[in-house]
Structure 1
Amino acid sequence: MALVGLSAVGLVCSVILLMEKLALLADPEHVPSCSINPVVACGSVITSWQASVVADLPNPVLGIVGFSIVMTAGALGAGGLHFSRWVWVGLLAGVLVGFAFVHWLIWQSLTVIGALCPYCMVVWVVMLALVTVAVRAGASEGAVPAAVSRWAPSAAVMWLALLVLAIFLRFQDYWLTLV
């Protein structure tokens, strides 16, 4: 059920991001709902070239497709369908590719674009959680070594802590003006 819930959150964020992208294409003066301050400004992210990496498709389209696939697999699994090992390996491979893409997007946000998109950050965390859940589920199906499954939650917490630290350090000049 965790795959369904996490994918639903990622899907909602992807749909909202796509709606904001379309609104910006229709009206370049549109201020996205997620543009809050100079740092948390998704308009800067949405209008960057990094926001449409694959065949000029907006990245949220990739999210809509990917999260829909994971949600479907999660719903079928929750409904009692028992997947073969290769399905778990494929699901985990897809989630890992998405997670690698998210890492690239994080790097771009922090080092090139210089802005944070709240919906994107939710997707970052959702992808981390999906990797963790997929690793744990894959281990229970024999598709992932048990040792990898055991350390996955701890690795996820460390990754999240490093992400928060990286965000703080990158924008510390701005954050410190708020206190």
Structure 2
Amino acid sequence: MTKTKQNNLSLPTVLPWLFIVLGSIAMLASLLLSIEVFDRLKNPGYVPICNLNPILSCVSVADSNQSHIFGFPNYFLGIAAYASIVTVGLSMLAGAKFKRWFWQAVQTGITLALIFITWLQFQSLYRIGALCIFCMVVWAMTGPLFWYTTLYNLRAGHIKTPTRLKGLVVFAQHYHLEILLAWFLIIISLILQRFWYYWSSLI
């Protein structure tokens, strides 16, 4: 691969597209979940398309206390948050240049989103005992959004890195994909282990 092609595939070039594509998918998943919940409220006999079996059951998740921890359904938060991410991506493609404080705000928001979905993952696996397909789509989009936003901010100097951690940052930049895949594998492994009693019954 030539140096020009490598530059064309640099993180600052790719990040706007990640914001637009991953943000749109997460926003759409949140929107679809809201539609399914509203349809069920209008018709109690309605079976949502995301209700596939006792484990993959968005109704079990949507009916839980954890689904509206802030006093309103979590999917409203998802629609607004990921719409904002898409807007940032579109603005970057249009040539917008954001200041350091803005990127720090984006980093704070996406970090809180990752913490929140990690909490929801734990709740789904070990408290609710069910998984919501649309929620898992949001999880899958949030991980890469957090990861590559963090790497971008570290590279651009929006996040100050202590000298003793610079080697770790270089390692993360070099093995970014492997680290992200490891995150996915950990989550998949936890899901398989937690509900193995059900998955094994399907074999």
Tell me the TM-score normalized by structure 1: 0.93
**Counterpart position of 1:178:** 202
C-alpha distance in 2 between matches for 1:126 and 1:73 = 16
Equivalent residue, structure 2, for 1:71: 86
1:85·1:141 contact (CA, 8 Å) conserved in 2?
no
Kindly report which structure 2 residues correspond to 1:9-158, keeping only aligned pairs within 5 A, or say none.
9-54=25-70, 56-144=71-159, 145=161, 147=169, 150=173, 152-158=176-182
Letter of the 2:79 counterpart: I
SS in 2 for 1:18: helix
Offset, 1:27:
2.4
Greater shift, 22-31 or 129-138, is seen at: 22-31
**Letter matched to residue 128 of structure 2:** I
**1:3–1:133 contact (8 Å) kept in structure 2:** no
Q: Name the structure 1 match of 2:183.
A: 159
Checking the alignment, whether the CA contact within 8 Å between 1:88 and 1:141 is kept in structure 2 is no
The 2-side partners of 1:76 and 1:109 are apart by 35
Q: Is the 8 A contact 1:42 1:116 kept in 2?
A: yes
CA RMSD of aligned residues (A): 1.5
- Report the CA distance between 1:133 and its aligned residue: 2.0
Query: Using the alignment, how far apart are the partners of 1:88 and 1:170 within structure 2?
Result: 37
Gaps of 5+ in 2: 1-16
Counting aligned pairs with the same residue, the percent is 31
Larger Rg: 2
Give the counterpart letter for 1:32 in structure 2: P
Shift of 1:26: 2.1
1:2 Cα offset (Å): 1.0
Q: Give the letter for the 2:184 counterpart.
A: L
CA offset digits 1:109-149 (Å, max 9, x no partner): 00111111111101001000110121132234321347175
Distance 1:125 1:49 in 2: 22
Gaps of 5+ in 1: none
Return the alpha-carbon distance in structure 2 between the equivalents of residues 89 and 30 of structure 1. 43
1:152 Cα deviation (Å)? 4.5
How many residues were matched structurally? Answer: 178
